[in-house]
Amino acid sequence: MADLASGTMAAAPSGQLRASGTAAAAAQADAHASARAAGVTIREPHAPVDFALLCELFRGVWQEDLDDPSVTPVVLHALAHTGNYVRTAYDGDTLVGGCVGFFSAIDGWELHSHIAGVTEAARGRSVGFALKMHQRAWALARGLRRISWTFDPLIGRNAYFNLAKLGARPRGYLVNFYGPMNDAINAGDETDRLETEWNLDSPLVLRCGAGEPCEPDVAALQAEGAIIALDRDASGAPAPGSRDAAVLLVAVPADIERLRTRDRGMSLAWRLAVRDVLGGLLADGAAVTGFARAGWYVVSREAP
């Protein structure tokens, strides 16, 4: 398949409808603009050394156990060779980020984005946003309208990036999805994940792609009747509230990664509390409609 930069459109998977020209064109423009703003070039790796370097980057970002990597160079090479999404972000000759996804046949064709990462030195430059904008344009050019991925619901900055900056929305709560993991970020914790869906040509995603984050106004929502279903008490511990409202607010800890190293007991308490409240609400048919940077999921119990 030709890459985005070639300007050509590859064939869509069998049975897929091609994305609208307007959405695809907007996505391509957003991808180019975000890469320029981040100061990176998005490349498709080809040589074995390229895949090895990408695995090394992921190992550093995710602090992986050398004996238990999330991906290997051989797997990445096979994915790329068979037309899946494997891309790197370079600042000049320096590799600063990467993203990997593969085709999924859940409820029709979609792309499942498996892993992404940006080096610590390149953080704060929106390299991750540039990679996702490229991935969106790549998917739309191939007739896909949806990308899915999972993320830890307790990591607030990831929730903000996924829901407010990208306009993705959770479609399910997965309990201990990956089982025990040995990397420094997840070790010792259960791997609950929010399964998230990014509808690539929706009006919300089009706005986000143009650089308009969609962050909910928590104070305004409370003034309109929203109540807190899960709060933080004075010590920073989870404090369950009421679920008797159409719109609910669910808190996450300020920094779960630091909390895991300092207070395992409180870290576990947050895992179980968010699983009970947020996971329970989603299981009952509620929908997450946004995330505020201050650490609040907004959940609606009304039909969208």
Q: Is a pLDDT exceeding 50 seen at residue 220?
A: yes
4-209 CATH fold: Aminopeptidase (3.40.630)
pLDDT of residue 185: 62
The answer to whether 241 and 227 have CB atoms below 8 angstroms apart is yes
Contacts of 58 (CB under 8 A, 6+ apart): 64, 69, 70, 71, 98, 115, 117
Going by pLDDT thresholds of 50, 70 and 90, the confidence category of residue 9 is: very low
pLDDT confidence band for 179 (50 / 70 / 90): confident
Tokens of 168: 């993705």
Q: What's the mean pLDDT in 6-30?
A: 59
Give pLDDT, residue 303. 59
Structure tokens at 263: 């207070």
- Cα–Cα distance between 43 and 254 in angstroms, integer? 35
Please write the tens of the pLDDT for every residue from 105-154.
Answer: 988 899 999 999 999 999 999 999 999 999 999 999 999 999 999 999 99
The reported pLDDT for the residue numbered 212 is 86
Mean pLDDT across the chain: 90
Indicate the domain borders of the chain.
4-209, 218-300
Q: Which residues contact 229 (CB under 8 A, 6 or more apart)?
A: 240, 241, 242, 243, 248, 249, 250, 277, 281, 299
| pLDDT at residue 213 tops 90 | no
pLDDT band for 286, please (50, 70, 90 cuts): very high
Is the pLDDT at 11 greater than 60, yes or no?
Answer: no
Q: Show the beta-strand stretches assigned E in 92-168.
A: 94-104, 110-118, 146-151
Which pLDDT score is estimated for 7? 32
Say which residue, 107 or 44, is predicted with more confidence: 44
Report which DSSP code applies to 302. S
φ, ψ of residue 194 in degrees (nearest 5)? -95, 120
- Classify residue 6 by its DSSP letter: G
Kindly report, residue by residue over 194-203, the tens digit of the pLDDT: 999 999 999 9
**Structure pTM?**
0.89
